[in-house]
Amino acid sequence: MRTPPRFDRGHTDDLMTFLASSPTPYHAVASAAERLEKAGFRQVAETDAWDGSLGGKYVLRGGAIIAWYVPEGATPHTPFRIIGAHTDSPNLRVKPRPDSGAHGWRQVAVEIYGGPLLNSWLDRDLGIAGRLSLRDGTSRLVNVDRPLLRVPQLAIHLDRSVTSEGLKLDKQRHLQPIWGLGDDVHDGDLIAFLEGELGLPAGEVTGWDLMTHSVEPPAYLGRDKELLAGPRMDNLLSVHAGTAALASVAGSGDALPYIPVLAAFDHEENGSQSDTGADGPLLGGVLERSVFARGGSYEDRARAFAGTICLSSDTGHAVHPNYAERHDPTHHPRADAGPLLKVNVNNRYATDGSGRAVFAAACEKAGVPYQTFVSNNSMPCGTTIGPITAARHGIRTVDIGVAILSMHSARELCGAKDPYLLANALVAFLEG
């Protein structure tokens, strides 16, 4: 029986708000937590003893969030249905000694995070955001969401080879943004500026995790506004859809045969090997504690994991009209044609035939079309948290996502319908 769609264009409108308010993984999980709180979820601390009560709970750790909903009738061995995603995006991140400059320009020293399209960061107005660690052991989020920095491109008059040989950027020399004028560079200037932005006393900040972001807001694009342009859709589009789906299922009052879960990890763009990454212990620890808090044994934990399924939701490649030869000739995913089922026989994606059947059933139930993505054999295939989740936890995992253009650019592009088509499919998956 088909489930009526729960999300429409309003979901895409809300995605734009989510993207704009989430310039860093720390802001993204705070935004997700705020939405879950409104749906009745409550935060639990990892340092506290957990109880087996019903309802929605979530754990925050750095730039990661794990949220779950224990429905009426759940047993210690009830399996989980997990939506997996990641909160980080390629960008320029501030170095430990950020204050630099030369020749009358004041600059901020940055390090390249992940694999960004470097040219997309040139001549773009940038803000700065992240997490500040304070002297008393607490932390504060900061977001200077106005034009503050800029990476200026070299004028063509000073590099005529650009027209014949293409743009060549040295990551160390050519991507350091400017943020002012002056010959005197003083250590601590940037952090003192951020302390002033938050009204903190001088010297209060003792640590920081800061990064740049484009301040241009998300926007509908095209003659009929059928496209969405915005930052960090890889992979906040999936984090937003998973949050909305979990909140919707938790608030439906329907009987659920599974425990629905959202697992949004940090550090996917550089390998997931961290305490907040998919290759760390966070997800397994939370799921196990949930089982044990409900009176379960190791046997219950094993039974629950054996029946668990994860949808690893990450953006994929829509066919590019100017580079169609880079795609597999029989697999040309299109914008607004529904989410992708991502397949790779070398296990760069975790999907197999049984996983395909699970996703196909969810899409059929939701009345959502879906399409299949396979890489061109001549092109190396990227990967996701899917294979990591499957291997680390022994959980059946399926890789899916929304087709976009300009992946890893400072500003990406998708169809305006695909975000809510994905969310509706995720609802059907969580409902089982």
Alpha carbon distances (Å) from 283 to 24, 75, 106, 287, 383? 21, 19, 42, 6, 19
**Could you read off the pLDDT of 207-260 as tens digits, one per residue?**
999 999 999 999 999 999 999 999 999 999 999 999 999 999 999 888 899 999
Number of neighbouring beta carbons within 10 Å of residue 8: 13
**Could you read off the pLDDT of 164-193 as tens digits, one per residue?**
888 999 999 999 999 999 988 999 999 999
Q: Rounded mean pLDDT of the chain? A: 96
Distance CA 8, CA 420 (A): 6
DSSP designation for 150: B
**Could you read off the pLDDT of 84-136 as tens digits, one per residue?**
999 999 999 999 999 999 999 999 999 999 999 999 999 999 999 999 999 99
Distance CA 77, CA 126 (A): 48
> Strands of 309-313's sheet, edge to edge?
42-43, 55-61, 64-70, 259-265, 80-86, 309-313, 396-401, 340-342, 371-373
Instruction: For residues 8-27, give the mean pLDDT.
Output: 98
Distance CA 65, CA 60 (A): 5
Asked if pLDDT for residue 23 goes beyond 50, the answer is: yes
In 91-187, alpha helices (H)? 162-165
Distance CA 132, CA 140 (A): 5
Q: Exposure string (b/e) for 53-80, b if CB count within 10 Å is 16 or more?
A: eeebbbbbbbbbbbbbbbbeebebbbbb
Asked if pLDDT for residue 399 goes beyond 90, the answer is: yes
Instruction: For residues 254-278, give the mean pLDDT.
Output: 96
Distance CA 302, CA 106 (A): 57
Asked if pLDDT for residue 205 goes beyond 60, the answer is: yes
Residue 373 phi, psi (nearest 5): -115, 130
Identify the weakest region by mean pLDDT among 3-12, 36-45, 123-132: 3-12
pTM recorded for the entire structure: 0.96
Q: Any bridge partners for residue 404, and if so which?
A: 317, 414
**Could you read off the pLDDT of 67-82 as tens digits, one per residue?**
999 999 999 999 999 9
Instruction: For residues 395-399, give the mean pLDDT.
Output: 97
Asked if pLDDT for residue 327 goes beyond 80, the answer is: yes
Distance CA 358, CA 425 (A): 11
pLDDT-above-70 percentage for the chain: 99
Asked if pLDDT for residue 34 goes beyond 50, the answer is: yes
Instruction: For residues 341-364, give the mean pLDDT.
Output: 96
**Residue-by-residue DSSP string for 163-217:** HHH-----TTTS-PPEEEE-S---TTHHHHHHHHHHTPPTT-EEEEEEEEEE-SP
Looking at residue 162, its pLDDT comes to: 87
Band of residue 5 on the pLDDT scale cut at 50, 70, 90: low
Looking at residue 313, its pLDDT comes to: 98
Band of residue 3 on the pLDDT scale cut at 50, 70, 90: low
pLDDT-above-90 percentage for the chain: 94
Looking at residue 1, its pLDDT comes to: 41
The count of residues in the chain is 432
Sequence-ordered strand ranges (E) for 222-297: 227-230, 259-265
